[in-house]
Amino acid sequence: MSQIISVHSFRGGTGKSNLTANIAVAVASQGKRVAIVDTDIQSPGIHIIFGLDEETFSYSLNDYLWDKCSIEKAAYDVTSELKTGNGSTADLSGTVYLVPSSLKAGEIAKILREGFDVGLLNDGFQELTERLNLDYLFIDTHPGLNEETLLSIAISDAMVIILRPDRQDFLGTAVTLEVAQKLDVPEILLLVNKTPPVFDRNTVMSQVSHRYGVPVGGLFYENEEMLELASSGVFWLHHPDHPFSQEVHAVAKKIIG
């Protein structure tokens, strides 16, 4: 039975797309068939992490929403694009597909100007799951709340909420949780990202968990290696022994259950 997992943060800059890419690829490394859909139509970018650019893909989620192509035409098998730190192709036992959103200014403007049929997104998620025989579909959402984000949350089997240990993130996360609970999301997992190294792991996890009454699935520290990689790849493939990477695998195992 396939699972839809939406990944959300109330505010921007939490490292949502990087964590989504890392966790999805870690799930695929367990022999799973995984797809990521970039529904962050207003500010897309996760395809950069997978080495795709506007020249390498013909169709995007925008084209599907404009009825120019089927959803699987906009899905790219990026498994062979995944590189390790020495530049060799990663040896994954599963498969990773990516449905990118367009990074062309005119196409972003067009979709904001004209709107789109949100119901088509729901159909697209289901069709993609069936036609690609997926085990997991990850939805990289736009920060904050809008229609496509609300839909993604509403149809999810599980939701991952990413926050930084920051007062503004804490308040925003409370809003997201309230919405997720109103939309009957069966399972919610909090991930604390960009934690300053001076913060104690157990104290932060305990505070966050206590504050929201929701389990904290992982805590990630800020690190220089991530800054140096600068979204040019999937971090754990480049730094497999790094504590960040170990935490990514721990979260992936929790998701697989």
Of the residues 86, 88, 115, 241, which one makes contact with other proteins according to CB under 8 A = 115
- For 46, what's the count of Cα atoms within 13 Å in the CB-facing half-sphere? 34
Of the residues 77, 91, 123, 228, which one makes contact with other proteins according to CB under 8 A = 123
Q: How far, in Å, are 40, 42, 47, 98, 112 from residue 106 at the CA level?
A: 16, 11, 18, 22, 10
Of the residues 30, 70, 84, 126, which one makes contact with other proteins according to CB under 8 A = 126
Q: Which is nearer to other proteins, 55 or 184 (CB)?
A: 184
Residue 207 contacts other proteins per CB under 8 A: no
* Number of amino acids touching other proteins (CB under 8 A): 28
Of the residues 48, 118, 174, 204, which one makes contact with other proteins according to CB under 8 A = 118
Angle among Cα 113, 114, 116 to the nearest 5 degrees reads 125
Site for other proteins in 79-108 (CB under 8 A): 105-106, 108
Of the residues 55, 86, 93, 119, which one makes contact with other proteins according to CB under 8 A = 119
Give the relative orientation of helices 201-212 and 167-182 as an angle to the nearest 10 degrees: 40
Choose one: 53-61, 87-95, 134-142, 146-154; the region binding other proteins (CB under 8 A): 146-154
Residue 175 contacts other proteins per CB under 8 A: no
Q: Which is nearer to other proteins, 1 or 198 (CB)?
A: 1
Of the residues 13, 58, 91, 109, which one makes contact with other proteins according to CB under 8 A = 109
Q: How far, in Å, are 30, 95, 215, 231 from residue 92 at the CA level?
A: 8, 7, 29, 20
Helices (H), 160-200: 167-182
Name the amino acid, one letter, at 45: G
What is the torsional sign of CA 139, 143, 144, 147?
Answer: negative
Where on the chain is the footprint of other proteins (CB under 8 A)?
105-106, 108-110, 112-119, 122-123, 126, 145-148, 150-151, 154-155, 179, 182-184
